Amino acid sequence: MQEILTLQAQEGMTLAKDVMTPEGRVLCGKGTVLTPSLLERFLKLDLTHVTVEGHPLSVPGEKSLAEELREIEERFSEVNNVAPLVYLKKRLMKRLVDSRGQ
């Protein structure tokens, strides 16, 4: 799944997460295939981002999950004997994996 700008969304893409209104109501459910009229409605409602299935866009500077995890390992490499920091590293890595839906 990939979170993209609403302006980048295209007809035929499928939502990977519900699209919510600013008030917290579900506007479109997960699994909805985007149509021109839906995209227009999102823009009228000033919805800035949507999350779509797959990884349809290449975003400059975007890192893969493996790259992100490798960076966390490198940042914490010198504190492997400090229990609270090891715990923090594991929590960060789990949260990253969970947020990517993988």
Q: Is the pTM of the predicted complex or chain greater than 0.95?
A: no
| Per-residue model confidence as pLDDT tens for the chain (102 residues) | 888 889 999 999 999 999 988 788 898 999 999 999 999 999 998 899 999 998 877 777 888 889 999 999 999 999 989 999 999 999 999 998 887 765
Domain tally for the chain? 2
Q: Has residue 10 been placed in a domain?
A: yes
Closest CA to 27 of 6, 9, 8, 45: 45
Q: Are 57 and 78 in contact (CB under 8 A)?
A: no
Q: Which domain holds residue 79?
A: 65-99
Q: In this structure, what CATH number is given to the domain that contains residue 18?
A: 3.90.105.10
* Residue 39: half-sphere exposure toward Cβ, Cα within 13 Å: 16
Nearest to 96 by CA among 65, 62, 51: 65
Judgement on whether residues 69 and 47 belong to the same structural domain of the protein: no
The residues facing 2 across adjacent strands are 52
| Domain assignment present for 83 | yes
Residue 8 has what DSSP assignment?
G
Same-domain check for residues 26 and 48: yes
Predicted local confidence at residue 22, as pLDDT: 79
Q: Are residues 78 and 44 in the same domain?
A: no
Q: Would you give the distance in Å from CA 43 to the centre of its chain?
A: 19
